[in-house]
Amino acid sequence: MARLNVNPTRMELKKLKARLATAVRGHKLLKDKSDEMVRRFTVIVREDKALRDEVEAELSKALAQFAVARSVTPAYSAETAFAMPASPVSAECSTESVMGVDVPKIQIVGNLDAQGLPYTFSEMTSEADYSVILITRLFPKLLKLAETEKALRLLADEIERNKRRVNALEYVMIPQLEETIKYIRNKLDENERAAIVRLMKVK
């Protein structure tokens, strides 16, 4: 490991020692942060996986139901029935901090079951009603999935960045500082010995 290009003086030695102490402390803190983030990540990843499987299964059920509804209704009447916009759903979006990473927090607003269908009952078959209800019921889960999945990706990025920092400190910065400190010490000792020898000779 290359040592830093500094003058071997007591001043520099003192400065470098202070820097080394800071680097070691920072390394420890970052390592702890990394450990905790990984722990949180594993919890979130399990949760996310379970949720995704559940949502995908229910969503394909709803979509299959909808396909049935489409197939029993003429295309044009289905188009007109669904052309009207339904009462829009919206969600309360805020952020939450997980280990210093801002992750989304989503909460659905209003009562979903109170919503009516966007078409009259005479326009579409009951299969369509059923599929719309299915998908509406699925919304809280869908939004929860959106939230956890985004958190997962944000946390993964942060863990990666943090890991790089820890490694830079552990394998570059700290060895470099240690080596330079050792070099300066040797040099100073050498100077001291040289001075003593010189004094002895003079005497």
Partner 1 sequence: MTGKIAIIGGGDGITLFKAAGVDAFPAPDGKKARELLRRAAGEYKIIFITEELARELGDFLKRFDEQPYPVILPIPSDKGGTGYGDELIKNAMERALGVDILSNNGKR
Q: Is 166 in the site for partner 1 (CB under 8 A)?
A: no
Q: Is 102 in the site for partner 1 (CB under 8 A)?
A: yes
Minimum gap (Å) between residue 143 Cβ and partner 1: 7
CA distances from 50 to 19, 57, 81 (A): 46, 11, 35
Q: Candidates 30, 66, 174, 177: give the one binding partner 1 (CB under 8 A).
A: 66
Region near partner 1 per CB under 8 A, out of 5-13, 157-165, 172-180, 191-199:
157-165
Q: Is 62 in the site for partner 1 (CB under 8 A)?
A: yes
Q: Is 90 in the site for partner 1 (CB under 8 A)?
A: yes
Region near partner 1 per CB under 8 A, out of 16-24, 124-132, 176-184, 194-202:
124-132
**Positive or negative: CA dihedral 115, 119, 122, 123:** negative
Minimum gap (Å) between residue 191 Cβ and partner 1: 48
Q: What are phi and psi of 96, to 5 degrees?
A: -135, 145
Give the Cα separation of 123 and 72 in Å (integer). 12
Give the Cα separation of 23 and 165 in Å (integer). 11
Q: Candidates 14, 15, 17, 153: give the one binding partner 1 (CB under 8 A).
A: 153
Q: Candidates 94, 111, 120, 122: give the one binding partner 1 (CB under 8 A).
A: 94
Region near partner 1 per CB under 8 A, out of 89-97, 165-173, 179-187, 191-199:
89-97
Which run of H or of E encompasses 202?
helix 174-202
The residue (of 48 and 180) whose beta carbon lies closer to partner 1 is: 48
Are 155 and 41 in contact by the 8 Å Cβ rule? The answer is yes
**Positive or negative: CA dihedral 50, 56, 59, 60:** negative
